[in-house]
């Protein structure tokens, strides 16, 4: 809002939305060469990446598809998806084109109430809520269970938009007791619950490196 222009290298560096007048993101001009029978699938892939088809021409049995798209949407798993859709026969090249003003937001991710800067991503507002849900579910699969419940949350501007929980390990602390010592069992279970509550409050969740690759595989 002060007129200062910032070159953002990481999503976590993006200022608060109240301080931003506009965000410009890099777009590319790309070309895909593919056998004719795969044209439909490739065009759907381009649209799913917010891309715009510009031209379609044919060279014998192959098609040349020219398009424009946001660079960020091609840096995740675009090439892998293209190879999958075309059974390995699609080729792709691109060049940087220009910066365009877009309605982008930062999605932050919280693990047990703590924001993890390295997980923050920038996405188009129209895609943000769905992307937040996808990522928290993938994080749920990537982060091991702990001795306490772990909440995974996605937020935009401090407002939570998605949540998934990793349930705690259930340990039978009464296994060595025999017979009907009900009061003793209740005391042990109460002590365990109190301990879990304390761990949830003070415990640190170790996030494996695999969790960070979730950002590169969103499909």
> Is 55 strand, coil or helix?
strand
CATH 3.30.70.2570 intervals, the chain: 106-216
Which residue pairs, CB below 8 angstroms and at least 24 apart, start in 175-181?
Answer: none
Contact 211, 139 (CB under 8 A): yes
Question: pTM (2 decimals)?
Answer: 0.75
Nearest to residue 135, comparing CAs of 24, 215, 38, 194? Answer: 215
Instruction: Say if strands 121-124 and 104-111 run parallel, antiparallel, or are unpaired.
Output: antiparallel
Contact 47, 24 (CB under 8 A): no
Residue 199: Cβ within 10 Å count:
16
Nearest to residue 123, comparing CAs of 179, 161, 91? Answer: 161
CATH 3.30.70.240 intervals, the chain: 11-102
Contact 162, 133 (CB under 8 A): yes
CA distance 41 to 139: 28
CA distance 143 to 79: 26
Name every residue whose Cβ is closer than 8 Å to that of residue 92 and which is 6 or more positions away in sequence.
30, 31, 32, 78, 79, 82
What is the CATH T-level fold of the domain 106-216, as seen in this structure?
Alpha-Beta Plaits (3.30.70)
pLDDT tens track of the chain, all 219 residues? 567 888 888 888 888 888 888 999 999 999 999 999 999 999 999 999 999 999 999 989 999 999 999 999 998 889 999 999 999 999 999 999 999 999 999 999 999 999 988 899 999 999 999 999 999 999 999 888 888 889 999 999 989 999 999 988 766 544 555 555 667 666 666 665 665 454 444 347 878 887 777 766 665
CATH of 11-102, one of 1.20.120.1200, 3.90.470.20, 3.30.70.240, 3.40.50.720: 3.30.70.240
Contact 128, 11 (CB under 8 A): no
Q: Which two tokens stand for residue 216?
A: 């590169």
């Amino acid at each position: 809002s002060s007129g200062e222009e910032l070159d953002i290298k990481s999503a976590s560096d993006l200022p608060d939305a109240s301080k931003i007048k506009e965000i410009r993101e890099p777009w590319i001009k790309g070309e895909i060469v593919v056998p004719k029978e795969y044209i439909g699938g490739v065009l759907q892939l381009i649209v799913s990446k917010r891309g715009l088809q510009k031209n379609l021409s044919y060279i014998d049995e192959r098609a040349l598809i020219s398009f424009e798209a946001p660079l960020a949407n091609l840096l995740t798993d675009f090439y892998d998806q293209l190879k999958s859709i075309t059974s390995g026969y699609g080729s792709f090249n691109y060049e940087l084109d220009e910066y365009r003003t877009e309605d982008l937001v930062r999605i932050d991710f919280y693990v047990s109430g703590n924001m993890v800067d390295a997980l923050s991503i920038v996405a188009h507002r129209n895609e943000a809520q769905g992307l937040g849900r996808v990522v928290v579910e993938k994080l749920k699969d990537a982060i091991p269970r702990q001795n306490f419940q772990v909440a995974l949350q996605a937020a935009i501007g401090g407002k939570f938009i998605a949540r998934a929980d990793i349930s705690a390990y259930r340990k039978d602390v009464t296994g060595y007791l025999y017979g009907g010592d009900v009061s003793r069992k209740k005391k042990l279970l109460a002590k365990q619950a109190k301990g879990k509550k304390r761990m949830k409050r003070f415990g640190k969740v170790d996030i494996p490196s695999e969790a960070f690759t979730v950002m590169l595989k969103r499909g």
